[in-house]
A and B are shown apart, each in its own frame.
Chain A
Amino acid sequence: MNKFLRTLIPSDIAKGLAITGKHFCKVFFTANRRKVPFHIVSEYPEVVAKVQPRYRGRLTLLKDEQGEIKCVCCLACEKICPTQVITIEKGKKEGRKMPYPVRYDFEMERCIFCEFCVESCGFDSIILNHQFELATYNREDFSLGMEGLSQNMFEPSPVGKFSVADD
């Protein structure tokens, strides 16, 4: 008898519907009225995506206050990189005591964004910025160097329009 009643009255399904209904009402009746909305979807391309401060994005070379490249070619980053995507050519520059990177090549297509290079650098001369939209149409655009046409190692990537590229 009990079982028959349970089959007749779908209380389990009503229970489930109550949950979805509750959530629907919460979002529907407070739309545009609450400061912190109940819905959790971010309107990404319209609203710039914010990432956490430790986010690991694209490798970037840093310059000091005088505009000098901070890197001193100790090759620690080249050695530690698990995918061997960094190639550095050591050189000299007039009026600079430390070695100077003539070439600093970075093949982004194979980078796995592990931050080992930044960690190994004892001179704080590289960081991973906060960009995550790094896809391009041409394979050549992934080979970054100190001077590049569409993107280089100093500037934020021009393709990442909707992610923050600060610090």
Chain B
Amino acid sequence: MFKNEEMEINLGPQHPSTHGVLRVKLRLDGETITHCKPVIGYLHRGVEKICENQTFFQGQVWTDRMDYCSAVANNLGWAEANEKLFGITVPRRAQYIRTLLNEFNRLASHLIWLATHALDIGAMTVFLYAFREREDILDMNEAFCGSRLTTTAFRIGGLREDMPPGFEKMARKFLAKFPTCLEEYENLLSENRIWKKRTVGVAMLSAEDAIALGVTGPVLRAAGVPYDIRKAFPYAAYAEMDFEVPTETAADTYARYLVRMAEMRQSARIIQQCLDGMPEGPVMAKIPKILKPEVNEVYHATEAPKGELGYYLVGEKGSTNPYRFHVRAPGFINLQSLPKMAEGGLIADIVAAIGTLDIVLGEIDR
């Protein structure tokens, strides 16, 4: 009686569960997705080109605005890529503070992931609790660099200022209560039958596929590949830190949830070690007032909360601007795996797939 037809629909660009202005073209057979194509570019600002027209010093403010949920991690990558280009050694105290702030930022980013991901799937309570803890981290950002989201935290060669008075107390207070908060989230979610129904076995991405697509970060680690740049190519003060790289083998949404929760515990451990072993000394290296590059090109990869964040910088002789600047954004590369995750699944599960990738459109479109 009825014709059997495939239907095409758009998810987004103004859809609350696409975490920004992502548009996904879906072809449906009933409720099953047969074809899925992400369309990006709605937030394109040309950050790479802007940075090529600015000096190395000024470029940092644009990196804040790429992945605005983890601005500190972006700043760190930019600062270290520049230091590599100019051959600057950063004082040890500055390295420790950078590591500390970066890990706090990872916590903030993972908390916002947990909050929005759970909200997308239908668990409202976790959203409020996770934002409560994130607020404390943002307050610490504000105390340290004066801004909550667009931090501009570091300078090429070190830090602008040392830790403000009272910062260490704030950090320790947060660390003391954070494990209980994590337990709360886990009590709310880990065993919850609705959560498990919506996540276990949903949006699978095997290790082979993940590696073939270049996926990094928690998504790759949830497929059983223990690849973490903090361990593989240590930067900042990570070589001196004692932490583990949590992995899971199930490769589904639930495994990614477990990996990120375990990562938050490890981050708290790293922060504790940073606070305890904080060396004394200056926080800024001696650098010339006008930076002119000697080496021609560098690629520097850091482990941002979302995956491998790489900065490729080409310096020109005699110029104060980068000749070419390119960002390997983790969100952009991870989004490639969305069709693989969603195709063949139900339409309700694409929300889980987008949430589990933890994308930020500011970084994907740049």
Contacts and interface: CB of A to CB of B under 8 A. Distances in A.
A112 B193 contact: no
A55 B278 CA distance: 25
Contact of A52 (B54, B139, B160, B188): B139
Given A13-B193, A82-B61, A40 B135 contact: yes
B61 A112 contact: yes
Contact of A116 (B58, B135, B143): B58
B131 to A, nearest CB: 10
Interface string A34-50: 00000010000000000
Interface size class of A (residues with CB under 8 A): 20 to 34
B286 interface: no
B187 A19 contact: yes
A73 B193 CA distance: 66
Interface string A59-88: 000000000000000000000101000000
B188 A16 contact: yes
Contact of B58 (A15, A52, A82, A128): A82
A20 B125 contact: yes
Contacts of B145: 54
Contacts, number: 63
A16 B150 CA distance: 35
B44 to A, nearest CB: 18
A18 B65 CA distance: 40
A119 B58 CA distance: 12
Nearest to A40: B132
Contacts of A11: 191
Interface in B70-119: none
Contacts of A55: 142, 146-147
B165 to A, nearest CB: 9
A54 B152 contact: no
Contacts of B208: none
B192 interface: yes
A108 B284 CA distance: 30
Contact of B152 (A52, A53, A115, A128): A115
A98 interface: no
Given A82-B54, A114-B152, A16 B125 contact: yes
B147 A113 contact: yes
Contacts of A112: 61, 150
B125 A56 contact: no
B227 interface: no
Given A13-B192, A114-B61, A51 B187 contact: no
Contacts of A95: none
B57 interface: yes
A52 B125 contact: no
A15 B193 contact: no
Given A52-B142, A52-B146, A112-B61, A15 B125 contact: no
Nearest to B126: A16
**Closest 5 A/B residue pairs (Cβ):** A54-B146, A56-B146, A82-B58, A12-B191, A52-B143
25 contacts: A10-B193, A12-B191, A13-B192, A13-B193, A15-B188, A16-B125, A16-B187, A19-B188, A20-B125, A52-B143, A52-B146, A53-B164, A54-B161, A56-B146, A82-B61, A112-B61, A114-B61, A114-B150, A114-B152, A115-B146, A115-B152, A116-B57, A116-B61, A119-B160, A128-B146
Given A15-B191, A54-B164, 6 more contacts: A11-B191, A12-B192, A13-B193, A15-B188, A19-B187, A113-B147
